[in-house]
Amino acid sequence: MPPLTTEQQVSHKLARAILAGFESMFAEFLNITLGAQSRFERAAWQEVQDAMRQRLQVYENKVELVCEAVKVIAYRELDHSDVWHRAKNDYAKRVADHENALIAQTFFNSIYGSLLGQQKIRDVHRFILQETYRPEPRSTDSILYQFTETEGIIDSLRRVLNVFPLRIPFENLERDLKAAHRVLEKINPELLTRQNDTVEFGRSLFFRNKAAYIIGRLIDPVSGEHLPFAITLLNRKNRDGDTCLYLDAFIIGEEQLSKLFGFARSYFMVDTDQPVRYVDYLCRLLPNKERFELFNAIGFIKHAKTEFYRFKVDYTKRMPATTKYVSAPGVKGMVMLVFTTPDSDYVYKVIRDRFRPPKTSNRQEVMAKYDFVKQADRVGRLVDTHEFNYLAFDRQRFSCELFEEMTSEVADSITLSGNALILRHVYVERKVTPLNLYIKDASEQALEQVIDDYGTTIKQLAAANIFPGDMLIKNFGVTRWGRVVFYDYDEICPLTDCHFRAIPKPDNEIDALSEQPWFDIGEDDVFPEQFPVFFAGHHEAKKYFDRLHHDLYGVDFWKITQKVIKSGTLVDVYPYKKEWRLKHFND
Ligand SMILES: Nc1ncnc2c1ncn2[C@@H]1O[C@H](COP(=O)(O)OP(=O)(O)OP(=O)(O)O)[C@@H](O)[C@H]1O
């Protein structure tokens, strides 16, 4: 074999260094994830929150370290495209049989993009678009347990629950199974008569907040039909002060399971070193969810972006030629320019070059707010955001109005290159129906329900130490399940940073009649008495809110919530209707 040239040698070194970096990143991610069971068993909820935040940092920290190493290794050859091309091919061979090859490829892209992205935008996604790098479906046997010929669904549940080696005992498993039986009687009694089903479930528990979930499905061996399910395990202290497990809910069917994996929820910690296979399996259980949503749901948010990019390219290819990007329906933002296509499930949000008054913040501050949301426990009420740098679009796909608006309003964020419009920075979010539009067409009943949920959203966010800042109804949206979520983050902050005050009484008549405030207002002051203004022009909605959530207009609600947060109490959030909790089905 002829001796290697310097360039060849550097390429091999780069491939090895990046792969070692990936393995080390993955190990750190896994170490945090594997601690989830003990945190759950010890009810160490503060640690759960800390671990969540810590895990979100692992990837970027590792990319930074590996980039520094690569700069030294590559030295003069750092920006030689031949070197990188060879490094990529070498890397591709090294990871070809890797259990998590897809995530490893994303890691290579991150390093390359971080070091050279700005100069070589088109090459950043080297591993994404080529067919050869698309995943083949693989066997999921290694991540599943299966019981065949079971004696009905409740017996299956009992067997499933006995498999997991948890350190704490059940408080009263038979009581919980009886309640699960009653749930089935209520929602689908036919299921109780089914014998001989196969029960299949993931070997790894899914942990999130204060809960652990078992995820699986029932398969009818004759028809092959299947029914996905999840079982929620919670823990509490019994009368003797010992921590015990109990079943809190039996979640049945694709729709219910899909809500568990909703885009406004925090990420699961899944006790596995085979996350890609778990996503393959979840795709089977939830065929209406995209792969990127599922990678995201289990915390692989960087790789989720790779998958999103692939989804977006495929989606754009399928879009009829007449479909154009247009401004998102609703009231235009003063801070964000938001666009979508009418059929798309996603919106793209670009920070405006200049903010319209009265907004006084700047780009960095807005980005910091979006970052705050990424780290927060979103309690099912904050739409998740995916931040992209250098996301390319076909320029012809923009409507004339939108293109004009973009070139004047977000010029700092776009690069035009041939047919491409490249967004240097953009957030992608799931599209919901803005609440102000939703209530226009809502029936009386739907209006009451959604306004009740709007108030509940504010209360749940408050309990999770989040104050939305701008609570105008146009800043909230409604999901396809009719659930209210918040999406305008430029004024969001920890609730404990706010200073809730009653409006001082005026000293004299001139003050009382003045349109300007007659008292000093601090930067963090909030006056709940002024909240009715959020309903400007929506009298009917206000009527329901006044009746259902009047407490939000008073200072007491907010101060008491702050006190509870400061005492270290962590809110209970159930990603299913409270009526479905098994305790309602006990004797
Ligand atoms: N996830 C979403 N789904 C659907 N529409 C959205 C979404 N996010 C934003 N929009 C639309 O874009 C508009 C502006 O978005 P957003 O409120 O985030 O911008 P902003 O500039 O921060 O607003 P503001 O001026 O109130 O601060 C919204 O009023 C809504 O119509």
**CB of 37 closer than 6 A to ligand 1?**
no
The token duo for 333 is 């933002």
pLDDT of residue 267: 95
For residue 358, is the peptide bond before it cis, meaning its omega torsion is within 30 degrees of 0?
yes
330 annotated among ligand-binding-site residues: yes
Structure confidence by residue, pLDDT tens digits, 121-153: 555 446 665 655 566 778 899 999 988 877 778
> How many angstroms separate the alpha carbon of residue 475 from the centre of ligand 1?
6
**CB of 368 closer than 6 A to ligand 1?**
no
Structure confidence by residue, pLDDT tens digits, 304-318: 998 998 898 888 889
470: annotated active-site residue? no
The arithmetic mean of pLDDT across residues 200-217, rounded, is 95
Structure confidence by residue, pLDDT tens digits, 324-361: 999 999 999 999 999 999 999 999 999 999 998 888 89
Find the helix packing angle between 101-116 and 6-34, rounded to 10°.
120
The arithmetic mean of pLDDT across residues 275-281, rounded, is 94
Beta bridge partners of 247: 233
Residues 384, 453, 488, 490: which is the catalytic one? 384
Structure confidence by residue, pLDDT tens digits, 484-507: 999 999 999 999 999 999 988 777
**CB of 487 closer than 6 A to ligand 1?**
yes
Pocket test for ligand 1, best of 326, 349, 353, 363 (most atoms within 8 A of CB): 349
% pLDDT > 90, the chain: 67
222 annotated among ligand-binding-site residues: no
CATH of 434-573, one of 1.10.150, 1.10.510, 1.20.120, 2.40.50: 1.10.510
380 annotated among ligand-binding-site residues: no
Nearest CA to ligand 1 atom 29: 331
Query: In terms of pLDDT, which residue wins out, 287 or 124?
Result: 287
Alpha-carbon gap, residue 122 to 114, rounded angstroms: 13
- In single-letter form, the type of residue at position 322 comes to T
299 annotated among ligand-binding-site residues: no
Find the helix packing angle between 444-463 and 539-548, rounded to 10°.
50
**CB of 361 closer than 6 A to ligand 1?**
no
Integer-rounded Cα radius of gyration of the chain: 26
**Nearest ligand 1 atom, CA 327:** 12
pLDDT of residue 513: 64
Nearest CA to ligand 1 atom 30: 330
**CB of 124 closer than 6 A to ligand 1?**
no
Alpha-carbon gap, residue 268 to 485, rounded angstroms: 19
Structure confidence by residue, pLDDT tens digits, 352-396: 999 988 888 999 999 999 999 998 889 999 999 999 988 889 999
Query: Which pairs with CB-CB distance under 8 Å and at least 24 residues apart come from 291-296?
Result: 293/261, 293/263, 294/261, 296/263, 296/267, 296/384, 296/386
The arithmetic mean of pLDDT across residues 513-523, rounded, is 72
Domain boundaries of the chain, sorted by first residue:
6-133, 141-315+579-585, 317-432, 434-573
Structure confidence by residue, pLDDT tens digits, 69-125: 999 999 998 888 889 989 999 999 999 999 999 999 999 989 998 998 755 555 544
Residue 156 pLDDT greater than 70, yes or no: yes
Query: 448 vs 191, 229, 439, 553, CA distance in Å?
Result: 34, 31, 10, 18
**Nearest ligand 1 atom, CA 356:** 25
Query: 567 vs 39, 44, 555, 570, CA distance in Å?
Result: 20, 15, 19, 9
Pocket test for ligand 1, best of 336, 353, 369, 483 (most atoms within 8 A of CB): 336
Query: In terms of pLDDT, which residue wins out, 574 or 371?
Result: 371
Complex ipTM: 0.91
Cβ pair 478, 432 in contact under 8 A: yes
**CB of 326 closer than 6 A to ligand 1?**
no
The arithmetic mean of pLDDT across residues 199-228, rounded, is 92
Structure confidence by residue, pLDDT tens digits, 14-59: 999 999 999 999 999 999 999 999 999 999 999 999 999 999 999 9
**Whose CA is closest to 267, among 219, 235, 304?**
304
For residue 360, give the DSSP letter. Answer: -
**CB of 538 closer than 6 A to ligand 1?**
no
pLDDT of residue 154: 86
Cβ pair 346, 430 in contact under 8 A: yes
